[in-house]
Amino acid sequence: MSGRILLLAGTAIGVMAAGIASADTWRYAFEEAMTEVQGVYAQKFKEEIEANSDHEIQLFPFGTLGESADIMEQAQAGILQFVDQSPGFTGALIPEAQVFFVPYLLPQDQGQLFEFFRTSKAIHEMFPELYAQQGLELLTMFPEGEVCMTTQAPVHSPADLNEVKFRVMTNPLLVESYKAFGATPTPLPWGEVYGALQTGIIQGQENPGFFLESTKIYEVTDVVTCIGHNNFTTAVMANKGFYDGLGEEDQTLIQNASNAAFEYILEYQQGLQDESLAKIKEEKPSMEINILSEEERKPFMDTAGQVEETFVGMTGDSGKAILDQMKADLQAVQ
């Protein structure tokens, strides 16, 4: 080997060893449109990465690369560097992530909810290990808004959900939860929901206010019912092989971008639920929007213990440990 080649090889090894970052393009897919909550988060993340490095982020909103299950597969395979998949779809892969579907576990007070997501040991210390076992570096989890039901007919009690085929995300615990609410749960990927409501295959579904408005789900349902049972949680991850292979500088860049986007998306959600419900009413004045009273909520709340037991039955010691830690974390912010 000539002296010149040796010198070049030596320089290349030196560059790699020092972890000096090259300008790369990283692909990031999410389950919503660019202007919806996951899209707003992703745009802020991209802005932070690009402002603080020579890297570029390519964003792939819902539909461009398939359904939630498809983008998760692509992230695990390393075709995507980043993915946003909500626990509603991660249940098969990480059963413990279904804890977010125990009804009435998360606080309805937004201040407490945000503080829980900022400080929770279950989220920041326990879930990363479970995601890592699936080849994923968990970067963040954040709430997207209070989940409300939309149906064809008013719902004031579990009896009103009798015989209602109700779409849920593909998550066994959510199925159990809606059974306990009195409905006939039907798990479907998001892309099939509007058409299934339109053709009458299903008669109801649930989602946060902004999503009910942006996806025009009010065109194919007539009543919104809010019972305070949950807040939609999502998770952003990196492919673990990709993340572990980065230098410290790039890992810090990603953590900083993730933290900045997390605070940004919480701020973005101030007042969003009420604004979204008001917009729905404006678009379709005949839409009935019912916020159930404490008394009406009670029979729904009474199902929580039974769903919690089912969760522990499905996930064993590991699920119980997550649930207990979450309860301790929630206690700390209440």
Smaller CB separation from ligand 6CS, 147 or 330: 147
Smaller CB separation from ligand 6CS, 167 or 179: 167
CB of 168 to ligand 6CS, least distance (A): 8
3-state secondary structure of 244: helix
CB of 19 to ligand 6CS, least distance (A): 35
Alpha carbon distance 278, 29 (integer Å): 30
CB of 78 to ligand 6CS, least distance (A): 23
Contacts of 123 (CB under 8 A, 6+ apart): 117, 141, 329
Q: Is 144 in the site for ligand 6CS (CB under 6 A)?
A: yes
Q: Is 169 in the site for ligand 6CS (CB under 6 A)?
A: yes
The residues in 41-70 that bind ligand 6CS, with binding defined as CB under 6 A, are 68
CB of 216 to ligand 6CS, least distance (A): 14
160: closest CA among 180, 181, 174?
181
Per-residue contact string for residues 94-133; x = within reach of ligand 6CS by CB under 6 A: ----------------------------------------
Alpha carbon distance 33, 191 (integer Å): 12
CA distances to 43, 143, 233, 247 from 269, rounded to whole Å, are: 15, 9, 13, 33
Beta strand pairing call for 184-187 and 165-168: parallel
User: Considering CB under 6 A, how many residues would be counted as binding ligand 6CS?
Assistant: 11
CB of 32 to ligand 6CS, least distance (A): 5
Q: Is 232 in the site for ligand 6CS (CB under 6 A)?
A: yes
Q: Is 221 in the site for ligand 6CS (CB under 6 A)?
A: no
Counting every residue written for the chain, the total comes to: 334
Q: Which of 29, 31, 48, 235 binds ligand 6CS (CB under 6 A)?
A: 31
Phi–psi pair at 317, nearest 5 degrees: -60, -40
Q: Which amino acid is at 197?
A: L
CB of 109 to ligand 6CS, least distance (A): 21
The residues in 68-97 that bind ligand 6CS, with binding defined as CB under 6 A, are 68, 86
Residue with tokens 């792939």: 60
Output the six-digit token pair for 155: 């719902």
CB of 211 to ligand 6CS, least distance (A): 4
Could you tell me the end-to-end alpha-carbon distance of the chain, in angstroms, rounded to an integer? 68
CA distances to 6, 18, 45 from 14, rounded to whole Å, are: 12, 6, 30
Alpha carbon distance 287, 7 (integer Å): 73
3-state secondary structure of 295: helix
The residues in 181-220 that bind ligand 6CS, with binding defined as CB under 6 A, are 190, 207-208, 211
CB of 196 to ligand 6CS, least distance (A): 12
Smaller CB separation from ligand 6CS, 60 or 232: 232
Residues lying near ligand 6CS in the complex (CB under 6 A): 31-32, 68, 86, 144, 169, 190, 207-208, 211, 232
